[in-house]
Amino acid sequence: MIKKGDVVWGGTLLLIVLLFLIPDSRSVIIALTESSPYISGFVKFAILATMGDLMGNRIVTGTYVVTADVFWRMIVWGVIGCMVTLVFPVYMGGASVAQDGGLLPFAGVKPMQAFFGSAIMNLTFAPAMNTFHRVLDGVISARAENRGQAITLRKILAGIDWQHFVVFNWLKVGIFFWIPVHTIVFLLPGNIQVMVAAFSSIALGIILSFAARKQ
């Protein structure tokens, strides 16, 4: 059953897509991306990835939950957006250097460079980033549930189901979702890669929500 929140969520997504598709607004977005890449990456992930979280919660619980904690999760997503802004050219450029140096095959073949950059990034950087995200998410949840009580890293780490987290988030999602997605992203012009990756995070939120329902 469609709720008011679904209309708001869908309308917001449509507006963002239109801003990206209309030539004048797209030019402004690209110009801001090139002049202020970190701020742009922060804003894109803070908005779009949070929308993915909200939709995921809608699928799991049947409603949108918008509390003060959503703001803190937006901040975390924004920081991740800054990370992505940096590591995309690092891994894509690194794959090219490795290919030119004979450390990886198919030198000069852009699709293979994109695949190698994506695979190496998602097998090395992504697990660390996922853990960073999961720990901070645990801190935010603990603050909401245990107000007034001490929150320690030991408690946060103990509350993580590491077997599920590693098998599902690191391996299944990382290998079967993010490696193909980022391979495609790396074939796009550099000034829209972070934007497309941020849109992809909406799909990730939906995937994780279905996994949560199944679990």
Give, for all 215 residues of the chain, the pLDDT tens digit.
Answer: 778 889 999 999 999 999 999 999 999 999 999 999 999 999 999 999 999 999 988 888 888 888 889 999 999 999 999 999 999 999 999 999 999 999 999 999 999 999 999 999 999 999 999 999 999 999 998 888 776 678 889 999 999 999 999 999 999 999 999 999 999 999 999 999 999 999 998 888 887 777 666 65
Angle at CA 200, nearest 5°, toward 175 and 78? 105
**Distance of alpha carbon 211 from alpha carbon 24, whole angstroms:** 39
165 CA to centre of own chain: 16
Tell me, what's the pLDDT at 211? 66
Q: What is the pLDDT of residue 102?
A: 97
Whole-number Å distance between alpha carbons of 112 and 95? 9
- How far is the C-alpha of 202 from the C-alpha of 215, rounded, in Å? 20
Q: What is the pLDDT of residue 17?
A: 94
Residue 131's closest CA among 153, 152, 108? Answer: 153
pLDDT of 213 reads 60
- Nearest CA-CA partner of 49 in 74, 20, 18: 74
The CA distance from 156 to 134, in Å, is 9
- The distance of Cα 61 from the centroid of its chain, to the nearest Å, equals 22
What pLDDT is attached to residue 209?
77
pLDDT for the residue 214: 61
